[in-house]
Homo-oligomer: A and B are copies of this chain.
Amino acid sequence: MRFDEAYSGNVFIKSHPNFEESKAVLYGMPMDWTVSYRPGSRFGPARIREVSIGLEEYSAYLDRELDDVKYFDAGDIPLPFGNPQRSLDIIEDFVDKVLAEDKFPLGMGGEHLVSWPVMKAVYKKYPDLAIIHMDAHTDLREEYEGEPLSHSTPIRKIADLIGPSNVYSFGIRSGMKEEFDWAKRVGMHISKFDVHQPLKEILPKLAGRPVYVTIDIDVLDPAHAPGTGTVDAGGITSRELLASIHEIARSDVKVVGADLVEVAPVYDNSEQTANTASKLIREMLLGWVK
């Protein structure tokens, strides 16, 4: 007596009802308690699912349909409000299980700090892991006003764990001078302002390696993603971001997990940000889950 869930907006469109048979697992990480500016990304994953019913099931870019890849939508991980550490532990735990079943973890944020435990979990499985990071911000702080758990720190944390030379940031247009200096000093790659062109140059160097891709929706210009916590002018278009996803799909890297974070619906009455995010998730699924 329950209507077909695949088109209900309760799960991402066409998601598979069965975990075991699925190749990828979609999950939400509804946490926004460490953000320094505008909160609200806790509601991102639910809204992305809801608007996914407006998507076509076919990608005219990749000539592939959602029927071609089985993915399970696990829903939003219940997280304890206001407790960053416990939240991160719960996320890591969940991703450990997803990886143990050899499934592709595809996460939706939530603030960017949620990527930290995910990347940690992925690194445990893939010791030669590289990170591709698309963002307006460096996210390389060690702490924010005394707090080591902050949405401005996840890339620093993973760089410290896997070595800065394995981390590649793209589209960066904001950060502290200290962050840029640190990156240069320790040999971490940062492409300022652009994503597609520098990515094209970097990808061959990563050929054959397992790669985790973390996309902060604010890498898009505010025109294309007003619904996020920290909008920052001068970003890329959704067209460039789509092209970048397709570039990775066509490359020789092996994407082993990914996320899309920082969608905060309340700042976007038109819901274009959530709609764009749902299209990006579709392209990530169709392009990266093989």
A residues apposed to B, CB below 8 Å: 1-5, 7-11, 19, 25, 32-40, 42-43, 46, 50, 53-58, 60-61, 63, 65, 72, 74-78, 80-84, 86, 97, 137, 144-147, 149-150, 172-177, 180, 192-193, 221-224, 226-227, 230-235, 237-239, 242, 266-272, 275-276, 279-280
Q: Which residue of B lies closest to A35 (CB)?
A: B81
What residues of B have a CB within 8 angstroms of the CB of A137 in the complex?
56
In the complex, how many angstroms separate the beta carbon of A280 from the nearest chain B beta carbon?
7
Report if A269-B267 is in contact (Cβ < 8 Å); known contacts: A81-B34, A97-B1. Answer: yes
Q: Which residue of B lies closest to A7 (CB)?
A: B78
Report if A146-B80 is in contact (Cβ < 8 Å); known contacts: A60-B172, A221-B237, A270-B226. Answer: yes
CA distance A82 to B172 in the complex (A): 24
Contact call B270/A60, Cβ cutoff below 8 A:
no
Interface centre among A223, A238, A239 (most CB of B within 10 A): A223
CA distance A72 to B269 in the complex (A): 31
CA distance A137 to B56 in the complex (A): 9
- Give the number of times this chain occurs in the complex, counting copies: 6
CA distance A2 to B27 in the complex (A): 9
6 residue pairs of the A-B complex, CB under 8 angstroms, read A3-B77, A7-B78, A37-B54, A83-B147, A233-B276, A269-B269
Report if A75-B8 is in contact (Cβ < 8 Å); known contacts: A39-B40, A145-B81, A234-B242. Answer: yes
Question: Of B76, B224, B271, which contacts A223 at CB under 8 A?
Answer: B224
What residues of B have a CB within 8 angstroms of the CB of A78 in the complex?
3-4, 7, 145
CA distance A278 to B42 in the complex (A): 20
Contact call B150/A56, Cβ cutoff below 8 A:
no
Question: Of B39, B180, B238, which contacts A60 at CB under 8 A?
Answer: B180
Report if A81-B50 is in contact (Cβ < 8 Å); known contacts: A25-B1, A192-B60, A279-B234. Answer: no
Contact call B147/A266, Cβ cutoff below 8 A:
no
Question: Of B11, B76, B150, B279, which contacts A81 at CB under 8 A?
Answer: B150
What residues of B have a CB within 8 angstroms of the CB of A237 in the complex?
221, 223
CA distance A58 to B173 in the complex (A): 10
CA distance A149 to B222 in the complex (A): 34
Interface centre among A233, A235, A239 (most CB of B within 10 A): A233
CA distance A176 to B63 in the complex (A): 10
Question: Of B5, B39, B221, which contacts A39 at CB under 8 A?
Answer: B39
CA distance A108 to B93 in the complex (A): 38
Contact call B2/A19, Cβ cutoff below 8 A:
yes
Contact call A238/B234, Cβ cutoff below 8 A:
yes
What residues of B have a CB within 8 angstroms of the CB of A144 in the complex?
80-81
In the complex, how many angstroms separate the beta carbon of A112 from the nearest chain B beta carbon?
13
